Amino acid sequence: MALVYDGAIQRLIDAFAKLPGIGPKGAQRIAFYLLSASDEESQNLIDAIDEVKTKVRFCEVCGNVCETSPCPICADPRRDRGVICVVEEVKDVMSIERTHTFHGLYHVLGGAINPMAGVGPESLNIPKLLERLKEDGGVHEVILALNPNIEGDATTRFLSALLRPSGITVTRLASGLPVGGDLEYADEITLGRALEGRREA
């Protein structure tokens, strides 16, 4: 039988262990770090979590995180409103922004098609994308910047077939991104080149 700590400390370890990318040992280290942290440091963490849960929401236009909707990117008049870059997750927006090569708008799907996990097209933020394209006749290109893995490819194929009849140019990121990787971990140069070398989907 595995050894566990008593009461509150074990509940804290278990809570951290449920977070993505944190295993049991990492969760234990964080829990014991907080146990020895000052009251001020602990309170800062509590306040930051509370503030995120209270203030942060999803942009009603693109699905990005923000404190006021529409988000700063959607509200920026300097952005190219003729190009929409479709990404899987909110964190992918920042990955592309770090390249400083894309100046259009974004659309966050909230995932990718994955039948094994029960995620179909109906689970994604696709209707809002279609609504945006219908409402704003000025969009001339949609970039499908999805992760280069099986789920990302399936979603890219689905969206490409769905959007092509509209007459809007549909492109996807060029090669240079490793198959099976995530945009979150791509360096700025590789991701920038992939954006610049995008091709029709």
- Which candidate, 177, 137, 144, places its Cα nearest to that of 159? 144
> Would you give per-residue pLDDT tens digits along the chain (201 residues)?
455 788 899 999 999 999 999 999 999 999 999 999 999 999 999 999 999 999 999 999 999 999 999 999 999 999 999 999 999 999 999 999 999 999 999 999 999 999 999 999 999 999 999 999 988 778 999 999 999 889 999 999 999 999 999 899 999 987 666 767 778 877 787 788 778 777 777
φ, ψ of residue 2 to 5 degrees: the values are -70, 140
